[in-house]
Amino acid sequence: MLKALIGFVAGMLVVAVGGYLAMPHLMFNEVQSPFGFEETIARIQHNIEDNPVLKEKGWALSGLRNPAKAVQADGGNVLPVQMIEVCSTKYSKPILRDDTVRFLSILMPCKVSVYKKNDGKVYIGTMNAGLMGKMFGPLVGDVMGQVAEDQKLFLVMDPSKPAPEIILPKAGPAAGGAGGAGGGC
């Protein structure tokens, strides 16, 4: 009996440690881009703006933000990072209407991070929206599952298409504080 109890506790400990170590890799996705920094940003932006499926689902760019800017202004030397902010009111509306999950507005707009690492390569980071949504019940699980499917279309990298230009945020009043190009959220 004691051996079984020790085995059970040891097994639970191994599962807990394994889950703890795996969690960051489950909650976020990272893929290497086949293109340079600026071209990766531009391709993602144009995937969002030019895809009729995404347009029908209400996706629009809401900002382009440089989170490294403050560190650089403070004298820090950091590799390039840009956050592409994108939103669809089709998906944000049901969450923002429901008091029990409105706190998830912190995740809006959706962000796609493009960054360089010390290996000189460019990477794309996204939240695992499908898995994240499952933790908050059926409404959020359904919405975030759809977001996860749409995110795949954000990241299509077709080398046969010419490199587009980066879409810079339009000047004017910030949409929802995103400092963005419309779309808001």
- pLDDT bin (cut points 50, 70, 90) of residue 185 is low
Compute the distance between CA of residue 3 and CA of residue 70 in angstroms, rounded to an integer: 56
Question: How confident is the model over 90-119, as pLDDT tens digits?
Answer: 999 999 999 999 999 998 899 999 999 999
Interior angle at CA 95, CA 91 and CA 100, nearest 5: 165
Of the two residues 76 and 122, the one the predictor is more confident about is 122
What one-letter code names the amino acid at 87?
C
| Alpha helices for 51-108 (secondary structure H) | 52-56, 69-73, 89-97
Check residues 10 and 157 and name the one with the higher pLDDT: 157
185 vs 177: CA distance, rounded Å: 9
List the end-to-end C-alpha distance of the chain, in Å, as a whole number. Answer: 57
Q: What is the pLDDT of residues 33-77, one digit of tens each?
A: 999 999 999 999 999 999 999 999 999 999 999 999 999 889 888
pLDDT at 122: 98
> What's the confidence (pLDDT) of residue 5?
60
Cα–Cα dist 117/120, whole Å: 6
The average pLDDT across 132-141 equals 90
| Mean pLDDT score of the chain | 86
Nearest C-alpha neighbor of 42 from the set 158, 149, 147: 158
CB atoms within 10 A of CB 18: 10
Going from the N-terminus, what domains does the chain have, and what CATH number goes with each?
Answer: 27-154 (3.30.310.70)
pTM assigned to the model = 0.81
Which secondary-structure segment (H or E) carries 56?
A: helix 52-56
Asked if residue 23 has pLDDT above 60, the reply is no
